[in-house]
Chain A
Amino acid sequence: QQQVKQSPQSLIVQKGGISIINCAYENTAFDYFPWYQQFPGKGPALLIAIRPDVSEKKEGRFTISFNKSAKQFSLHIMDSQPGDSATYFCAASIALQANNLFFGTGTRLTVIP
């Protein structure tokens, strides 16, 4: 059973466009929602994270939007660049436990020049 559902599986965006990746969860005990970015041949790296006490968090061109009532969160990449081409994973955990990050299935983003 997938604890965190992620869509789309793949995404192609023109340079300068907005990339949007969506995730949904069921476990209301989750209180930490990170996004990881993975380049080919590398391990995932933490990109940005949010806790449910805020509805949005922005770091540069990357923004997480969080809807607690809908149990959904999304990653927006503004002004997408070819260097953003990577696989993106959303995840969720119970922060105090932090013994397991439940990952989404990943989205392969390709930004076309």
Chain B
Amino acid sequence: DADVTQTPRNRITKTGKRIMLECSQTKGHDRMYWYRQDPGLGLRLIYYSFDVKDINKGEISDGYSVSRQAQAKFSLSLESAIPNQTALYFCATSDSGGGNGYTFGSGTRLTVV
């Protein structure tokens, strides 16, 4: 099994729909992150969580919400999807020091039509 598993891998949804992207990890890490990847823009942080009771906004949190259900689970929700949220979404984890790098999932490709 992958260290960081994201579901679904691909999703097409309609404008205005609520959608949840899920992430689970087996690394035992406390820290989890949601990033968005767009061509020419790199990866941008949406939300991050340092433990179950800690949720923080990243640089592009508007239109998104998250839930940290357990140490191993971190989900991202789009309350009312819009076409400019079409992107590749990545979940990542890191240990408390962060200096050993982030472990990323394989991504969810989301298309909002």
A residues near B (Cβ < 8 Å) are: 2, 6, 9, 32, 34, 41-46, 49, 89, 93, 95, 97-101, 103-106
Interface of A is mostly: loop
In the complex, are the beta carbons of A95 and B99 less than 8 A apart? yes
Interface residues of B (CB under 8 A from A): 4, 31, 40-45, 48, 50, 56, 58-59, 90, 92, 94, 97-107
> In the complex, are the beta carbons of A98 and B98 less than 8 A apart?
yes
Evaluate whether A89 and B106 lie within 8 angstroms (CB atoms) in the complex, with A43-B90, A98-B98 already known: no
Q: How far is the CB of B3 from chain A (nearest CB, A)?
A: 10
Q: Is the CB of A100 within 8 A of B104?
A: no
Point out which of A42, A43, A97 has the most chain B C-beta atoms below 10 A from its C-beta: A43
